[in-house]
């Protein structure tokens, strides 16, 4: 019987793995950061050596994009140094490392929407525009250098039934405000955590290795996304479209972050959903589950 260890089990993806993944032939062992911290090298080595997993799914990361600008040492320690140690253990112990990365490794320029209308391909050279993206890119490079037994899965605009995300924030704000402003010059596509877990497992079942993009079909702005959330949830809000400069942030945000998914589409059993389908599923889960 195969054994999968999930690190960062209290985050959006970590919780989704626990609730969505069902395979009677696999034992799933989740660890939150209090139980097993990826920055504690000796503890991590001892536990993984004892458990001898077939697969380790790393959902642990420093994800505070603005915070990374001020807490650079901490972001680097978690997203680069700890990931380096995990990649070394993958090679030493012999497990496959599944690691989640981000659209933020790409340049995110406005005119890239014309250059890459179907999204950034996996093969495009990275050029992060903020420090968070830089740490995720450095983590990717270290994994590729230290072990061939890896799956690096990039996602964008992540949202799901667990944890905090844009969909839940809009639902909360929509209940207490008659008017809201949302940026309309950042283009991409949401990625739904349930779809991520299902496609991650299909890639593993097909014994795929390397780098893949997982996201939804379609291209929208955050304003489009918010409008659809309110419409589908039956919430009446006067929604104003504004430019990114209206909401200054510590870290620069990409104006284009669509990920191309044609490589994933060629894998047997994978499911690429339209973002509207994913949103409908998520809203149902939030309300009824």
Question: What tens digit of pLDDT does each residue of 8-42 get?
Answer: 999 999 999 999 999 999 999 999 999 999 999 99
Q: For 213-234, what is each residue's pLDDT tens digit?
A: 999 999 999 999 999 999 999 9
**Dihedral pair phi/psi, residue 284, rounded to 5°:** -65, -45
Query: How confident is residue 289, by pLDDT bands cut at 50, 70 and 90?
Result: confident
**What are 55's strand-pairing partners?**
4, 96
Residue 26 has what DSSP assignment? E
All domains in the chain, ordered by first residue: 2-165+190-216+257-273 (3.40.50.720)
Task: Give the C-alpha distances (Å, rounded to integers) separating 284 from 11, 242, 287.
Answer: 20, 29, 5
Instruction: Give φ, ψ of 90 to 5 degrees.
Output: -60, -40
Go through the chain and tell me how many residues it has: 289
pTM: 0.97
Is position 162 annotated as part of the catalytic site? no
3-class DSSP state of 163 = coil
Contact between 38 and 8 (Cβ < 8 Å) = yes
Tens digit of pLDDT for each residue in 157-173? 999 999 999 999 999 99
CB atoms within 10 A of CB 40: 14
Q: Which of 104, 120, 132, 162 is catalytic?
A: 132
Q: Are strands 238-242 and 210-213 parallel, antiparallel or unpaired?
A: unpaired
Q: Could you report the per-residue pLDDT of 173-186, keeping only the tens digit for each?
A: 999 899 999 999 99
76 Cβ contact list (under 8 Å, min separation 6): 135, 138
């Amino acid at each position: 019987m195969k054994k999968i260890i999930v690190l960062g089990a209290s985050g959006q993806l970590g919780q989704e793995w626990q609730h969505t993944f069902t395979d009677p032939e696999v034992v799933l062992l989740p660890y939150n950061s209090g139980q097993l911290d990826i920055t504690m090298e000796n503890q991590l080595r001892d536990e993984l050596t004892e458990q001898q997993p077939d697969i380790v799914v790393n959902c642990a990361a420093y994800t505070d994009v603005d915070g990374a600008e001020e807490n650079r040492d901490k972001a680097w320690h978690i997203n680069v140094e700890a990931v380096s140690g995990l990649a070394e253990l993958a090679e030493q112990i012999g497990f496959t490392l599944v690691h989640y990365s981000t659209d933020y490794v790409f340049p995110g320029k406005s005119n890239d929407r014309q250059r890459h209308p179907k999204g950034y391909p996996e093969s495009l050279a990275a050029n992060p525009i903020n420090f968070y993206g830089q740490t995720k890119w450095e983590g990717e490079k270290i994994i590729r250098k230290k072990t061939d037994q890896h799956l690096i899965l990039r996602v964008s605009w992540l949202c799901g039934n667990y944890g905090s995300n844009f969909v839940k924030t809009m639902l909360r704000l929509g209940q207490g405000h008659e008017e809201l402003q949302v940026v309309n010059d950042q283009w991409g596509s949401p990625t739904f955590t349930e779809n991520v877990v299902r496609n991650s497992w299909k890639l593993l079942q097909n014994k795929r290795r390397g780098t893949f993009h997982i996201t939804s079909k379609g291209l929208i702005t955050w304003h489009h996304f918010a409008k659809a959330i309110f419409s589908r949830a039956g919430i009446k809000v006067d929604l104003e479209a504004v430019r990114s400069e209206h909401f200054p942030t510590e870290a620069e945000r990409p104006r284009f972050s669509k990920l191309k998914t044609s490589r994933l589409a060629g894998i047997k059993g994978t499911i690429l959903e339209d973002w509207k389908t994913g949103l409908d599923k998520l809203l149902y889960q939030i309300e009824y589950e």
